[in-house]
Amino acid sequence: MTDKDNGDEQAAKDKPDDERDLPVDDLVTTQHSITVKRRKLNYTTTTGRVVLRQEVLTEGKFDGHQPKAEVFVTAYTLDGADPAKRPVTFAFNGGPGSSSVWLHLGLLGPRRVVSGDVGDMAPPPYDLVDNAETLLAHSDLVFIDPVSTGYSRAVKGEKPGEYHGFQGDLESVGEVIRLWTSRNGRWMSPKFLAGESYGTTRAAGLAEYLQSRYGMYLNGLMLISSVLDFATLDFSEGNDLPHTLFLPTYAAIAHYHGLHGSRALEDVLAEAEEFASRDYPWALARGNRLSTEERADVVARLARLTGLDEDYVDRVNLRVEHVRFFTELLRSQRKVVGRLDSRFTGPDADYGRETFSEDPSYSAILGPYTAALNHYVRSELEYENDLPYEILTVNVRPWSFKEFEGVHVTVANKLASAMRANPHLRVHIAYGHLDGATPYYAAEHVVAHLQIPDELHANIEAAYYPAGHMMYVHEPSRVQQSKDLADFVQSASNR
């Protein structure tokens, strides 16, 4: 036992009984380097769990800070950089219930998993390689796993459910961002959020929350596979909006699987978008007031664009739900289509079922990312924890949206509020044409309805990729997206 160990043991014994079991940060620091475009970058990685505390008042008197949760973070900082000029990006995925592994090891971090792609998936045990396109070349990176994901957990005696909802999630992730920024002297650094899927919901909410709660104004948001208004995705009775907004994605998927012959994708999308913006919503609104001829015309156009049989389109009353689409499209070939990435196809146990039993695109990437993360954290970052690293957990459900009782869930208003208050806030939105979870046309619809002055629309930029929800699984898209994000961070840093 070292002198330090002896001292730590004695210090623990000297603490009062009610303090000995209190959790503490368990951060581990390691040094690394990577070569990017012939430039050697030396960087420091800090990995571990940060304890979140809450101010406690007892009978109106301050009674200390009570530990509430331990949140797992992985931070990368470039050695020798000027903190006042060096941007920092806080990144997370969505779910809700997802860890940050996808953006961490798929796109942004200095190491990435080799997972393969459609038709050439890598076999286990997989591999990790340097990511020559890492955003670390342009920004420090802090990956955050919300409570109950990754290694993040509520502390002993606390209820994890407090964090399994819209506001609790915002406040806890926002507190991690505030703590890291303060402890590392980064209040004067250009600051960015990068979120994917529900992470874009979180990022938009955080932009407003960080401003109003802490006065922390951001330089930019990177919204990857965006969902800002859940009404655009909610296939519930009486809500026809998703049926129209998913149509261009259905058409893109049908095109990818060869159901549009030699037509160019651009032509297919243009036709689908035009139909989705005018005649299709009109037809759905008409209901049984459509004439026989009008209905037949809509059926034919929908079938042609989606690649589905006219009889099927007619039987579902002109309304094609997305998982039913993925199950139906290639049924005659005894294949189902991926939801997260519709380039992927796979078998099912029963080709008469209404909805597939699993998403073949998620099945394809789960193994590589899980193996890579568990190896990387222990072997390279030297952080040890015997908890299971929760890649994508159902333990956060039911997820609470109590703040939206009686109305649909949306953060479009919060994003607009943040942009109005901070007219320097820039927004980059990444769309996958073959993303069947958060369709590009739905996100475009929300952006078009943001309540911001006309001049602020110039602060929003869009990038499109011929892949799915995690568009970076597709190698050409990964390389291009890395460049697009680097360009965005550089241009939005205002330095």
| pLDDT tens-place string over residues 106-149 | 999 999 999 999 999 999 999 999 999 999 999 999 999 999 99
pLDDT of residue 494: 75
Percent above pLDDT 70 for the chain: 96
Number of H helices, E strands in the chain: 16, 16
Mean pLDDT of 291-306: 98
CA dist 33 and 42 (Å) reads 4
Say whether pLDDT at 359 is over 60. yes
CA distances to 149, 299, 307 from 293, rounded to whole Å, are: 53, 10, 21
Residues 6+ apart with CB under 8 A from 108: 89, 91, 134, 135, 136, 141, 143, 194, 485
Model confidence band, residue 386 (pLDDT cutoffs 50, 70, 90) = very high
Model confidence band, residue 2 (pLDDT cutoffs 50, 70, 90) = very low
Model confidence band, residue 154 (pLDDT cutoffs 50, 70, 90) = very high
Task: Give yes or no for a contact between 191 and 218, defined as CB atoms under 8 angstroms apart.
Answer: yes
pLDDT of residue 14: 55
Model confidence band, residue 55 (pLDDT cutoffs 50, 70, 90) = confident
Model confidence band, residue 423 (pLDDT cutoffs 50, 70, 90) = very high
Say whether pLDDT at 16 is over 70. no
161 burial (CB, 10 Å; 0-12 / 13-18 / 19+) is middle
Say whether pLDDT at 430 is over 70. yes
The two tokens of residue 309 are: 């049989």
Mean pLDDT of 255-277: 98
CA dist 50 and 147 (Å) reads 11
Say whether pLDDT at 11 is over 90. no
pLDDT of residue 247: 98
Model confidence band, residue 3 (pLDDT cutoffs 50, 70, 90) = very low
Residues 6+ apart with CB under 8 A from 179: 50, 52
Say whether pLDDT at 354 is over 70. yes
Kind and range of the H or E run holding 336? strand 336-337
Say whether pLDDT at 262 is over 50. yes
Say whether pLDDT at 1 is over 90. no
Mean pLDDT of 5-10: 50
pLDDT of residue 57: 72
pLDDT of residue 21: 74
Say whether pLDDT at 5 is over 50. no
Which domains are delineated in the chain?
Answer: 25-230+383-492 (3.40.50.1820), 235-358 (no CATH)
Round to the nearest angstrom and report the end-to-end CA distance of the chain.
49
Say whether pLDDT at 60 is over 90. no
CA dist 374 and 325 (Å) reads 35
Say whether pLDDT at 391 is over 60. yes
pLDDT of residue 15: 55
Please state, as a whole number, how many other Cβ atoms lie within 10 Å of the Cβ of residue 495. 12
The string of pLDDT tens digits covering residues 304-329 is: 999 999 999 999 999 999 999 999 99
Say whether pLDDT at 13 is over 70. no
The dihedral of CA 462, 465, 467, 472: what is its sign? negative
Percent above pLDDT 90 for the chain: 92
Say whether pLDDT at 24 is over 50. yes
Mean pLDDT of 477-484: 98
**DSSP state for residue 17 in the 8-state scheme:** H
Mean pLDDT of 335-360: 96
Model confidence band, residue 56 (pLDDT cutoffs 50, 70, 90) = confident
pLDDT of residue 342: 98
Mean pLDDT of 261-289: 97
Mean pLDDT of 429-439: 98
Whole-number average pLDDT of the chain: 94
